[in-house]
């Protein structure tokens, strides 16, 4: 038939449609009579209306039953519309073929099964996902053509449940039917598109004998049958873009909801909804609904353990809840214990046909060999994630092959990826996927008999990875201490070159790299120790020791150095032991956990470095022993030790070590009121740090300079003038401290130091700068002191800086007293004095506590604490009033100063 003949036939049908429907055929159809006639005529009507612009088609069909002129106009309009539309002509042929007999007065050729309603039942215990469902419903109801929505995510994440929930909400919007099919995309044999199309056509009323045999023909007919209808199509578990696109209907008023484990990136969709794990609250609700609220609530702690071990995976939670419901005599705590067993977890998360292991197996088995190997190796190092570049050394392939491999794993949802704050990509396994990865690697599964050599493969892969991590750590460590090595001997382990973009280019990048990789490096040390890879164990530990100091991770530093010392002893390497003892002493000292052992570590390290002729190591260990002695308040002994270190540093020369030593000597000079000499030492130290491009060192010098300038105004007097007007050696108060230009200089240097130390992520240095500013605000009677000291307390408490915490408490105590909370103030000051043994800190803390006792009228406590303060000041060589204890106690026994004025600092 020509186009003109087809149009003549369709116009004839339009006339019949108008007459038959007008005669009440629609009313009879409601009762089930001649339903196929109504369906066919209605479809024809919608097809014509869709081919002509605006409402012209509807008007012409209505008029065609009454006016020959309208019939002629309709024919002309349709011929013009179809003249350049071959696809439309073919649709019209298919539409007319089964209805031609009716057009000539014959009988209906087939019976329609009615409107398809194929949606599965929605889960009664469905929990959460409200935002995702709302997005799907809104997108599917949006006008303007066929809407396609995709929900994608890993197996077991609940994609089908979400789409079915959304589909049931949409049934009223799609009255012409809802089609549903499981495309088996995760199975070895996905559904055949031609067979699915045949089922769809039959559901839409096409007799099996009238369905074309080939896929192309069925696709055309499906598009024709759906044209003009409002049909909702749900394609569950699509394998790929090609499978899904072949099942998209042709009607502009239809909608399609698709689920897939893959993101189907090249498929044009209106709304993409990725699904991730349930949050803890929603997961808890789901477990209670399935396992029984009363049962779970009896032991909420164990219930939350179950939730945590299921990792937010809805399938795992459903199986866990079903197990609890199925075996009511079993306690929740015993189930949680079984689930906590790494070797049994996947066995426990299996019930009947449901299995978490099966989900991972379905994703793993179709992968290429290299991707399967990568999945197995990603669990070899016990760490939550890795930098994405780690795949290259793990697999021993170039970066391009590793990237392609990673893309495949991400598409299969076996690996998770995220961006870290350095803009690098990190990859990891879901906890349950990690269990399956370990099963595969260990060859525990029945089909893994060919993987007997997997352990050797994993060891080789992890050694390459650890070598690359060590190479990157070496580069970052060099950025943190650019002026030279602290010791020799770290060159025994085999290194592998990491990619260039994994290497730190400056101090800031080095600090960020160590922060990002800290957990990985600790896992590397632990793994190397367990495998007996002694060189890797101690060298990785040593490479990250400075970074751990920056990060205040003294507990981690102590733990890793204990393992590394065992590795050095296993090697019989005295140089390695010396280096590690130096690092361990620093961690013990700064963490305040064992100062006596810290001193022993430094002294043994000094001896070992001397015996090996390592002057770099000896000078560094000497300097650190001097810092410990200074922190303990043994200032005279500290000065001697630091002078010995200074002589070694000047002879090497090692400018970095010399600069730090000069800064420490300046601190001692400040405590002993030798301010001019201290400032000269700081001048030299700052010049050395600046010349060697070490901003962290400059920041510490500036902080110490600010401390020195501030105390030179006060001559070390530990109390503001409003609290104490008695004598203090060298202190002659003429006006308020902020009127002295040295005070303004101190504030400027604190603020500059804070910016530098924040930039290089030196939390300890930045916090002590905050302490200095808080102390200034206290002396100024500035209301910002309370805010500053609260911040300092949070930071020192979080990072375990006991000395800094005690200093902060003494300031907070005075602030509390000035707000009429004298009892609380005394408690805080007592806590400060009972902190780490430090003559300098204890000297200040005891004097402030004595003043608080005096405000409370506790005369005996005042006398006792004044004696303590005198002892600490003299032990440290710090100036102290030359008055009898009773006279000094009298000067301290005064009421609390008047209420603070909360004067804003300008």
Identify the pLDDT of residue 863. 96
Over range 526-553, report the average pLDDT. Answer: 93
Instruction: Quote the DSSP letter at residue 813.
Output: H
Gyration radius from the chain CA atoms: 40
Q: Give dist(CA 445, CA 786) in Å, integer.
A: 62
- What CA–CA distances, in Å, run from 691 to 582, 620, 682, 697? 26, 20, 14, 11
pLDDT of 506 higher than 60 = yes
**So what's the architecture of 704-892 in CATH?**
Alpha Horseshoe (1.25)
> CB–CB of 269/149 below 8 Å?
yes
Packing angle, helices 314-326 and 300-310, rounded to 10: 140
pLDDT surpasses 50 at 109: no
- Is the pLDDT at 21 greater than 70? The verdict is no
Give the mean pLDDT of 157-177.
91
Q: Residues 562-611: pLDDT tens digits?
A: 999 999 999 999 999 999 999 999 999 988 778 899 999 999 999 999 99
- Neighbouring residues of 890: CB distance < 8 A, sequence distance ≥ 6: none
Measured between alpha carbons, how far is 866 from 874 in angstroms, rounded to an integer?
A: 12
For residues 311-341, one letter each, b for 16 or more C-beta atoms within 10 angstroms of the residue's C-beta and e for the rest, the string is: bbbbbbbbbbbebbeeeeeeebeebbebbee
386 and 427 Cβ atoms separated by less than 8 Å: yes
Only one residue has tokens 């004298």, namely 822
Residues with Cβ < 8 Å from 809, sequence gap 6 or more?
A: 793, 828, 829, 831, 832, 835, 845
Is a pLDDT exceeding 50 seen at residue 330? yes
Full-model pTM:
0.75
Starting at the edge strand found earlier in the chain, the sheet holding 255-260 runs 178-182, 232-236, 255-260, 147-152, 271-274
Angle ∠(811,815,821) on CA atoms, nearest 5? 125
Locus of tokens 């102290």: 880
Architecture in CATH of 358-451: Orthogonal Bundle (1.10)
d(CA 315, CA 433): 13
pLDDT value of residue 492: 81
CATH entry 1.25.40.10 includes domain 462-672: yes
H-type helices in 449-594, by residue range? 454-480, 507-531, 534-543, 545-550, 554-571, 574-591
CA separation (Å) from 726 to 648, 778, 837, 881, 891?
44, 18, 27, 9, 6
**Sheet of 425-428, strands arranged across:** 385-387, 425-428, 416-419
> 651: part of which helix (H) or strand (E)?
helix 635-651
- Confidence check: pLDDT of 37 > 80: no
- Assigned architecture for domain 130-274: 3-Layer(aba) Sandwich (3.40)
686, 706 Cβ separation under 8 angstroms: no
Q: Lowest-pLDDT range, 167-171, 302-306, 495-499? A: 495-499
Preceding omega of 653 cis (within 30 degrees of 0): yes
């Amino acid at each position: 038939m020509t186009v003109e003949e087809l149009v003549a036939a369709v116009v004839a049908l339009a006339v019949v449609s108008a007459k038959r429907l007008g005669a009440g055929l629609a009313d009879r159809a409601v009762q089930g009579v001649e339903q196929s006639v109504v369906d066919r005529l209605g479809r024809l009507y919608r097809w014509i209306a869709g081919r002509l612009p605006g409402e012209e088609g509807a008007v012409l069909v209505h008029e065609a039953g009454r006016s020959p002129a309208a019939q002629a106009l309709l024919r002309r309009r349709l011929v013009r519309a179809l003249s350049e539309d071959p696809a439309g002509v073919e649709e019209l042929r298919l539409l007319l073929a089964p209805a031609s007999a009716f057009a000539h007065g014959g009988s209906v050729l087939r019976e329609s099964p009615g409107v398809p309603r194929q949606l599965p039942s929605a889960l009664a215990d469905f929990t959460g996902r409200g935002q995702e469902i709302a997005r799907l419903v809104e997108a599917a109801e949006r006008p303007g053509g066929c809407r396609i929505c995709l929900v994608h995510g890993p197996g077991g994440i609940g994609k089908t449940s979400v789409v079915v929930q959304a589909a049931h909400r949409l049934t009223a919007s799609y009255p012409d039917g809802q089609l549903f099919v499981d495309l088996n995309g995760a199975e070895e044999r996905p559904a055949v598109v031609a067979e699915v199309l045949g089922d769809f056509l039959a559901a839409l009323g096409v007799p099996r004998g009238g369905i074309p045999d080939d896929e192309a023909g069925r696709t055309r007919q499906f598009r024709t049958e759906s044209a003009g209808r409002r049909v909702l199509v749900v394609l569950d578990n699509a394998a790929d873009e090609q499978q899904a696109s072949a099942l998209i209907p042709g009607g502009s008023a239809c909608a399609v909801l698709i689920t897939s484990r893959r993101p189907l990136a090249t498929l044009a969709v209106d709304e993409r909804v990725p699904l991730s794990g349930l949050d803890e609250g929603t997961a808890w609700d789901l477990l209670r609904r399935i396992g029984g609220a009363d049962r779970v609530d009896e032991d909420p702690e164990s219930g939350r353990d179950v939730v945590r071990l299921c990792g937010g995976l809805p399938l795992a939670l459903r199986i866990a809840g079903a197990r609890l419901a199925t075996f009511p005599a079993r306690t929740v705590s015993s189930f949680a214990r079984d689930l906590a067993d790494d070797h049994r977890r996947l066995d426990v998360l299996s019930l009947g046909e449901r299995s978490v292991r099966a989900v991972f197996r379905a994703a793993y088995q179709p992968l290429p060999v290299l991707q399967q190997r990568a999945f197995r190796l990603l669990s070899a190092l016990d760490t939550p994630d890795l930098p994405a570049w780690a795949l290259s050394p793990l697999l021993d392939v170039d970066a391009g092959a590793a990237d392609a491999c990673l893309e495949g794993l991400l598409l299969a949802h076996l690996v998770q990826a995220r961006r870290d704050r350095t803009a690098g990509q990190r990859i990891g396994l879901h906890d349950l996927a990690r269990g399956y990865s370990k099963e595969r690697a260990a060859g525990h599964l029945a089909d893994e008999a060919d993987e007997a050599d997997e352990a050797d493969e994993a060891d080789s892969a992890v050694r390459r990875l650890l070598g690359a991590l060590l190479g990157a750590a070496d580069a970052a460590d060099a950025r943190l201490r650019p002026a030279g090595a602290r010791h020799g001997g770290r060159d025994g382990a085999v290194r592998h070159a990491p990619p260039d973009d994994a290497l730190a280019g400056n101090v800031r990048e080095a600090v960020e790299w160590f922060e990002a990789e800290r957990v990985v490096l600790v896992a590397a040390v632990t793994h190397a120790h367990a495998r007996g890879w002694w060189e890797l164990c101690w060298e990785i530990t040593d490479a990250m020791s400075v970074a751990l100091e920056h990060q205040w991770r003294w507990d981690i530093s102590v733990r890793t150095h204990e393992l590394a010392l065992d590795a050095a002893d296993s090697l019989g390497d005295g140089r390695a032991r010396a280096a590690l003892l130096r690092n361990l002493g620093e961690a013990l000292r700064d963490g305040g956990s064992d100062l006596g052992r810290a001193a022993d570590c430094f002294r043994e390290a000094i001896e070992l470095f001397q015996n090996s002729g390592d002057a770099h190591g000896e000078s560094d260990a000497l300097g650190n022993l001097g810092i410990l002695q200074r922190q303990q308040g043994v200032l005279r002994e500290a000065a001697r030790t630091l002078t010995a270190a200074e002589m070694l540093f000047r002879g090497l020369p090692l400018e970095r070590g010399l600069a730090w030593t000069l800064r420490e000597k300046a601190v001692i000079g400040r405590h002993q009121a030798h301010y001019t000499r201290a400032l000269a030492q700081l001048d030299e130290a700052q010049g050395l740090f600046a010349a060697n491009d070490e901003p962290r060192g400059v920041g510490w010098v500036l902080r110490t300079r600010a401390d020195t300038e501030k105390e030179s105004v006060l001559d070390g007097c530990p109390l503001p003038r409003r609290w104490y007007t008695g004598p203090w050696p060298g202190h002659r108060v003429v006006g308020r401290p902020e009127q002295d230009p040295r005070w303004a200089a101190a504030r400027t240097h604190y603020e500059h130091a804070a910016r530098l130390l924040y930039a290089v992520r030196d939390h300890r240095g930045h916090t002590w700068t905050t302490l200095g500013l808080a102390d200034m605000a206290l002396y100024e009677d500035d209301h910002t002191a309370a805010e500053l000291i609260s911040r300092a307390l949070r930071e020192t408490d979080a990072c375990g800086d006991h000395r800094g915490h005690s200093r902060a408490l003494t300031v907070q105590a005075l602030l509390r007293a000035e707000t009429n909370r004298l009892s609380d103030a005394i408690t805080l000051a007592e806590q400060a004095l009972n902190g780490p043994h430090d003559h300098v800190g204890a000297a200040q803390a005891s004097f402030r506590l004595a003043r608080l006792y005096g405000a409370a009228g506790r005369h005996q406590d005042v006398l006792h604490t004044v004696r303590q303060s005198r002892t600490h000041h003299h032990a440290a060589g710090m100036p102290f009033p030359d008055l009898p204890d009773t006279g000094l106690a009298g000067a301290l026994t005064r009421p609390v100063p008047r209420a603070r004025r909360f004067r804003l600092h300008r």
